[in-house]
């Protein structure tokens, strides 16, 4: 048999070989660190015997598949530890996730932080026992009987959802057996020493709020301890930067029990938001977009035509007006289509670029709400662009350049994914193939590296997703470019071509910030609340040393305001040290201290968040400097030292 390896080389074997034996044949070092094999793209345990020609990629913990396998095995070790310590606990599911793994468990009594320490200690014992993980399969009826015998009702329910003729796989390690498709490491010892329980939360069984609330134990695992330590450091930094905490401290936004998932922006937050939107409008006008506004609520028949009613109904809020069903918009695109249809269009009008910062509402489960990151209403910085087929490459190139310009301004690195047709999609195979090929050609023409994200496109078309990397290395999916052949067909959109005939336009859906609220949350955490001067809600705080210099401080504040600088006067009856600390806590970029000498000479003593004491300057000189900094939208002055 011929085994084609990842590098394209081919190995031939006369008899069937396990993946582990092939790894040993290639390199003893590879065999020691191998976690899983990918056989023709399918993940398989290292014990899997290959008896046919195939492609094979042997993954280590440096690879995504290998690390996921290590973490999935660690989740079984954690579940075994739980069952040893809490025999009456009932296990639900325990997958690996992007930054670790979790297990949902039904405990008789709530567990505490002390309990998680005991679980970690028991995990250490299980790993040291070096228990082999053994895979076996049972018919559905026998699988149900096994889980009933072990009193695992959640596992029974999962098996009952499978077809009658299904063959069910399990993994056994020592006395512990778990329902699982795999793959896994060869033994518990291979999990290693770099693991940690990170938090405990509640999670409804199967994500349904009508089901029982289970305990979700989050944890993570790495191949090496230094990788775990780096992750823990990042998580500690993330806690300091949590936008919910900083949003409250800096008085940017609030939440209310009267509207869960519906954020309130406070005065400081509105300054930040409006400044951000001024920049958004500036770059869009400069790139030949026209801004529109469409209604927040439209008739059900529109959403049926668009396909949202069939594909998105459960996430939509509805009401009845004059005996007709209406839906609050979850997306802006149908409104842009109605604007396009408002008058006849010619090929000379295209590309036609509509920009809309529209407020949309989507139902999110209460357990999934998270500050500004996951809300039920948000402003989508949409653009809907109507083009001819010949304009795809140039327009996608133009959009990518605009998105790149925005992300570079804020200091974001990013990577790009091309998301292809999902299972729940509409349209013909031919249209989808043409749309996906159009985006591929545009990306290749730009020279923008990308990876394929199979099956994650929108239901109406493929998309290019931009994933930002923030100051501490986390990624966020924000910008997107979606190519849509379907909605123009469903709404029978037309334009008159150069040949005088009617033609169908192509529609591009595009966001840059994504959700404005979420983008603000990302910015709060990216800058740790220490916004660059041009974005800061308060750019300068004027601090009189005592009451007798208040009149001069007021005059300084007025001159700053007249120059367009967002300035505030500190009127507290406190010592100057207290006022400085207060301004530092508010993360204000500049403080101007004024006393006897400053008043006599028309000066200000400048303290900056970035550099500390910068000495005395003339007020006119300081105003000139800060106005230039604001106009240039520099980000370096906003960095904390």
- Please tell me the distance from the alpha carbon of residue 255 to that of residue 273, in angstroms, as a whole number: 16
Question: Does 509 qualify as catalytic in the annotation?
Answer: yes
Question: Does 570 qualify as catalytic in the annotation?
Answer: no
- Please tell me the distance from the alpha carbon of residue 318 to that of residue 327, in angstroms, as a whole number: 4
In this predicted structure, what is the pLDDT of residue 637? 44
In this predicted structure, what is the pLDDT of residue 97? 92
CB-CB neighbours of 133 under 10 Å: 24
Containing 300, the helix (H) or strand (E) segment is helix 300-306
- Please tell me the distance from the alpha carbon of residue 372 to that of residue 519, in angstroms, as a whole number: 8
- Per annotation, catalytic residue among 329, 509, 510, 607: 509
Question: Does 377 qualify as catalytic in the annotation?
Answer: no
In this predicted structure, what is the pLDDT of residue 640? 44
Q: Report yes or no: 307 and 426 within 8 Å, Cβ to Cβ.
A: yes
Backbone angles phi, psi at 103, to 5 degrees: -140, 130
- Please tell me the distance from the alpha carbon of residue 35 to that of residue 22, in angstroms, as a whole number: 13
Question: Does 380 qualify as catalytic in the annotation?
Answer: yes
In this predicted structure, what is the pLDDT of residue 437? 85
In this predicted structure, what is the pLDDT of residue 641? 33
Q: Report yes or no: 67 and 61 within 8 Å, Cβ to Cβ.
A: yes
- Please tell me the distance from the alpha carbon of residue 571 to that of residue 542, in angstroms, as a whole number: 9
Q: Report yes or no: 46 and 23 within 8 Å, Cβ to Cβ.
A: yes
- Per annotation, catalytic residue among 35, 333, 357, 512: 333
Question: In terms of residues, how long is the chain?
Answer: 641
- Per annotation, catalytic residue among 196, 353, 362, 566: 362
- Per annotation, catalytic residue among 71, 463, 474, 518: 463
Q: Long-range contacts for 236-244 (Cβ within 8 Å, ≥24 apart)?
A: 237/472, 238/472, 238/474, 238/525, 240/528, 241/471, 241/472, 241/524, 241/525, 241/526, 241/528, 241/529, 242/371, 242/525, 243/371, 243/372, 243/373, 243/520, 243/521, 243/522, 243/524, 243/525, 244/370, 244/371
- Per annotation, catalytic residue among 384, 421, 474, 566: 384
Question: Does 363 qualify as catalytic in the annotation?
Answer: no
Separation of CA 114 from chain center: 32
- Per annotation, catalytic residue among 80, 173, 380, 391: 380
- Mean pLDDT by 10-residue block, N- to C-terminus, for the chain (641 residues)? 89 93 93 94 94 94 94 97 97 93 95 93 97 96 96 96 93 96 95 95 87 95 95 91 95 95 97 97 96 96 91 90 94 96 96 96 87 94 94 90 92 90 82 84 84 83 89 86 90 96 95 94 95 97 95 96 97 94 96 95 94 94 96 71 33
- Please tell me the distance from the alpha carbon of residue 358 to that of residue 331, in angstroms, as a whole number: 8
- Please tell me the distance from the alpha carbon of residue 52 to that of residue 57, in angstroms, as a whole number: 15
Count H helices and E strands in the chain, helices first. 20, 35
One-character DSSP codes across 487-521: HHHHTT--EE-TTSSEEPPEEEEEEEEEEHHHHHH
Question: Does 53 qualify as catalytic in the annotation?
Answer: no
């Amino acid at each position: 048999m011929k085994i084609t390896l990842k590098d394209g080389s081919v190995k031939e074997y006369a008899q069937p070989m396990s993946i582990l034996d092939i790894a040993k044949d290639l390199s003893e070092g590879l065999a020691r660190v191998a976690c899983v094999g990918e056989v023709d793209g399918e993940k398989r345990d290292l014990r899997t015997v290959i008896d046919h020609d195939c492609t094979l990629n042997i993954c280590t913990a440096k690879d995504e598949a290998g690390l996921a396998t290590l973490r999935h095995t660690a989740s079984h070790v954690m579940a075994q530890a739980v069952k040893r310590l809490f025999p009456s606990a009932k296990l639900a599911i325990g997958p690996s996730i992007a930054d670790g793994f979790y297990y949902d468990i039904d405990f008789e009594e709530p567990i505490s932080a002390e309990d998680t320490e005991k679980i970690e200690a028991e995990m250490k014992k299980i790993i040291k026992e070096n228990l082999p993980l053994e895979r076996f399969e049972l018919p559905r009826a026998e699988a149900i009987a096994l889980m009933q015998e072990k009193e695992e009702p959640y596992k029974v329910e999962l098996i009952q959802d499978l077809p009658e003729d299904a063959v069910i796989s399990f993994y056994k390690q020592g006395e512990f057996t778990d329902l699982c498709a795999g793959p896994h490491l060869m033994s518990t010892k291979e999990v290693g020493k770099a693991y940690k329980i990170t938090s405990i939360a509640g999670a409804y069984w199967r994500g349904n709020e009508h089901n029982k609330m289970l305990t979700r134990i989050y944890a993570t695992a790495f191949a090496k301890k230094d990788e775990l330590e780096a992750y823990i450091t990042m998580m500690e930094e993330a806690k300091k930067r949590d936008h919910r905490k900083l949003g409250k401290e800096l008085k940017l936004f609030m939440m209310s029990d009267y509207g869960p998932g519906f954020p309130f922006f406070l005065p400081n937050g509105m300054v930040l938001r409006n400044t951000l939107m001024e920049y958004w409008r500036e770059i869009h006008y400069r790139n030949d977009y026209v801004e529109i506004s469409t209604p927040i609520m439209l008739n059900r028949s529109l959403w049926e035509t668009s396909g949202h009613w069939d594909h998105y109904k459960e996430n939509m809020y509805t009401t009845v007006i004059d005996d007709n069903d209406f839906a609050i918009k979850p997306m802006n695109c149908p409104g842009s289509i109605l604007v396009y249809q408002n008058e006849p269009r010619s090929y000379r009008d295209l590309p036609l670029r509509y920009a809309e910062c529209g407020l949309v509402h989507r139902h999110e489960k209460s357990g999934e709400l998270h500050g500004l990151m996951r809300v039920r209403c948000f402003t989508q910085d949409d653009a809907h662009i109507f083009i001819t087929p010949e304009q795809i490459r140039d327009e996608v190139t133009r959009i990518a350049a605009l998105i790149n310009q925005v992300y570079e301004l804020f200091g974001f690195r990013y990577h790009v994914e091309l998301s292809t047709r999902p299972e729940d999609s509409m349209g013909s195979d031919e249209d989808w193939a043409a749309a996906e090929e159009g985006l591929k050609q545009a990306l290749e023409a730009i020279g923008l590296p990308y990876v394929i994200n199979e099956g994650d496109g929108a239901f109406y078309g493929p998309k290019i997703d931009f994933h930002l990397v923030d100051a501490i290395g986390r990624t966020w999916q924000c910008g997107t470019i979606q190519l849509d052949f379907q909605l123009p067909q469903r709404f029978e959109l037309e334009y008159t071509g150069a040949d005088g005939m009617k033609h169908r336009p192509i529609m591009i859906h595009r966001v840059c910030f994504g959700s404005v609220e979420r983008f603000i949350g990302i910015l709060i955490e990216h800058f740790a609340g220490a916004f660059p001067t041009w974005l800061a809600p308060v750019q300068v705080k004027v601090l009189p040393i005592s009451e007798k210099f208040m009149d001069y401080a007021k005059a300084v504040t007025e001159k700053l305001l007249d120059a367009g600088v967002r300035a505030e006067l500190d009127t507290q009856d406190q010592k100057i040290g207290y006022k400085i600390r207060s301004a530092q806590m508010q993360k204000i970029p500049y403080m101007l201290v004024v006393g006897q000498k400053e008043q006599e000479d028309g000066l200000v003593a400048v303290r900056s968040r970035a550099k500390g004491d910068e000495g005395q300057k003339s007020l006119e000189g300081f105003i000139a400097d800060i106005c230039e900094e604001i106009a240039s939208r520099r980000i370096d002055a906003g960095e904390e030292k």
